[in-house]
Structures are given as structure tokens and as C-alpha cells.
Structure 1
Amino acid sequence: GRKRKQPIDDSTTTTIASTSKAAASTPTRANGNSTTSAAINNPQKKPKKNKITVDVNDDLKVKLLDDWEWITSQYQLLPLPKPKTVENILEDYHNHKIEENKKTKETNGVRHRGRGRPAKNPQEEILRENLANVKSLFNEVLGTQLLYRAERQQYFDFRAANSGADCSAYYGAEHLMRLLVILPRIVETTDMREVKAEQLRDTCQELISFLGDRPDVYFSEIYDNAPPVYIRLSENF
């Protein structure tokens, strides 16, 4: 592998819409049919569309668009598995929030009283549920909505060599960000209750901020040249 070039610097004025376009329209499906489950897209129902938005800061837009350019124009691929995978990121974020909430309670003088286990914290239950949903959704749509053409053969080969493994166990922050950017479009296709959609939005917004504060920990600066066969095969996808 070799070190990545300097990022494209025209993305500081890029809107979230163009970032979404780069992350959502370029990836291609393995075939003409969506593989998302009924829970994510049930054509038998016509649910009320949940309108949510997420904000991505300029530094993360740079990373998203530079990643897109690096892969689609330069045929450079992220080595797999990532040192910090989606599962690692979600676990780190969960632990960060638990510790943050603990410090907040201590600052406010809130302590558990009495014997037995402390009562369940509704906010922590919501956090766990939302992070589980993010992981499940990532594993479900990675192969159909989050890959660029040049990445598809790498995906097929890695899946074949790691049968049964979740995508979240070897892809990382770059692909997770692609999911978070198109999350509003995905949520619109669900029958998720409005309050649940808003809770998921809030968790994902904080997760985006968490990643944005730690780019050196989670984002890669090393890409590998795509094998010539990958480049040839990408023309067929």
C-alpha cells in the first residue's frame, strides 16, 4: 500500500446533498433487486415517510469525497480488514457514551441507592437498540448500497474467504460514514415510528460527531492499488 494523496480541497463548500450523491448514487447493486428486508423496505405497506436529516462537518465531507475520488478515479482500495472496524467503532462509541453519562450523573450528584441492581436507564436502552440497528443495517445494505464499482470484486473475494463473517467485522469508518450519510433516504422507506426515527437520527448524529473528533483513530490514510482484474471486472457491474 501507499500513503494517500492530499485530499481534494474543493469539498469544504460541498453541501450534504452533494455528499449524499457521491455516497449514494455511485455505489451499485449486485443485481437489479434490493436485498433489504421487509423491516427496511416493505412494498406491501405505504408508511408515512419519516423526514430526518443528519449534518456532516466539512472535514468529514472532505474525507467522504476524497475517498470517493481515490477509489473511483484512482482505483485505490482500502485494505481489509480495517484495523478499527465498524463493530469496534460502535463499541467504542457505546463505551464513550456510558462513561459520559456516568460522569454527568456524578456531577449532578445522582447515585444509586439501595441494594440490588440499579434500575435500567431508558437512555442507555435506546442507545443500545440504536447501535444494534446501525450494525444490522450496515450488514444488510453494505453489499447493495454502500460500495463503489471498483470495490465490488474485493467485496466478493473477501466474503468468499470469510464465510459467515459480518461486514461490520472488517469494514470501517469510511463505509460506515457512507451509511450515515444516506440514512435519511433509507429511513424514509421504513414503517419506523416517528419517535424511533428521531432517536435513531440523534444517535447517528452523535456518532458522526464522535468520528469527526477522532479522524486519526478511525479513518485510513493508506490505500492499495486495485488488482488489474478488479478494474476489468468493475466495468461489468
Structure 2
Amino acid sequence: MQPITNTYQIFWEETRKYIKGIMEAIDWGAISDAAAETLTELDTFLQKYEENYWCFDYEIMDLIGEDEINEESIIEYVESKLESYIAEITKDPLFELHVTLINETYEAYKLGLYKLCAMPLFAVFEHIIASWREGNIKEGVIEINKKPKLRRLFKIIDPDKFNEVEHEQFSKIFALSVLRMFKKTFVNVPENLCQNLNRNSLTHGFHDYNSITKVDILKLFQLLKASMVLKYYDINVNERYKITK
């Protein structure tokens, strides 16, 4: 198969730079040793589940709880909360352009038409990442007037234990996870039929579409919800990695 277009190849390569920028934007010197250790543990934990295409946000990690997290409990939780996910996502200015697309995709999901759900959800995620990359997703653009729910966070993070500067670093770790998922799901079309969540093989018709399951679509809905954290990290905040137009 031919590689993805030059535009996406460049975009994919740039993502490496953004990830590096976020890591360097974490102010390790301004946080306590306890916070630094927790950040490292959290990042390791997130990466473990990214391997199986799960991208967590504050809420899911807080409500499930560390000791209860496994594949089965994640699936059960996301499925039980999906209707509220849709309500939250479609009310957020971040997804204003895609409200009807998300709602109709949800209707397809409820009918078991999972093959019809994957590409619309990838389209929404792609637009969010592209808009963030252009610097169009930030507080001044989408008029965000509140901070993320930092006090509803995985139980290993005691809100009273960390200061506001340290809370900001946790947001960067979750943003980093979303960008890694972009890299993971927008890779080149493989030589053999793909059964993983791969935007390019799905779009270009060289995919094992019969392998798409309900769980795959739950992962994509969860990814959209997780991507909301990008509102709280301006890509241009780190001058070294600032995008010039």
C-alpha cells in the first residue's frame, strides 16, 4: 500500500515535536517530589492502556478507581455512561461543528451498525487535533470559562496534596496521552488488512471491516471525550514549539 499523503506524513511528524514540547513544558522544578512521582506513574499507567487503544480522561480514572481498572470494567463503565458522554460532548463548543454527526453516529451505534460509526468519529477527532495544531483551540477561541475537573481525578492524586502549578502539569500528561493516540491511530496503511483502529486503512478501504466491534467504537467515543483536555493546553504556550503560520 502507498503511504499516507504528504500532508498527513508531515502532520504525523509534527506530532512528535508537540509531544516533546509538552514533556518539556512540564515544570518539574516547580513541583514537589511527590507530584513528580505521581505524574510519572500516571503517564506510565496511561501508556499501558493506550497500547489497547484506550485513552483516559480525568473522570473515568477518578470514578473507576485504580484497583478496579481492567479491560472489562472499562468497557462496562464507558458503555453505561455513553449517553451522558454524548450529552456532554455535544454541548461543548469544541464539538459544535459536529453535533449532528455525533448524534447520528450514536444512533447507528445503538442499532449495532458499528462499521458506520468508525469513520465519522475519526473525522471528528481529526478535526479537533488539526484545530488544536493550528492554535484554534484555546480559551479565547472557544470561550472556555472554567477549568477542568481537577478534583475529580484518579484516587492516587490527592487534590489537597498538590498546588495549582502541579495541577496544571497533570493536564499536560492527559493532553500528551491524546496526542500519542493520534500518532497510534493515524499511522500508514499496513501491507496486510488491518484489524486495529487505524484511520487511514479505514478511510482508504484496505481494512478488515468485519473486525470492527462495539468495543472499538466505545474506544473512539472515549477518545473524543478525552480530547477535551486539549482546551486547557495551548499549543503555542511553549515558544520553542510554537506553530508559525
Q: Structure 2-normalised TM-score?
A: 0.28
Q: Which is bigger in relative contact order (C-alpha 8 A, separation at least 6)?
A: 1
Q: Structure 1-normalised TM-score?
A: 0.28
Higher helix share goes to which structure? Answer: 2
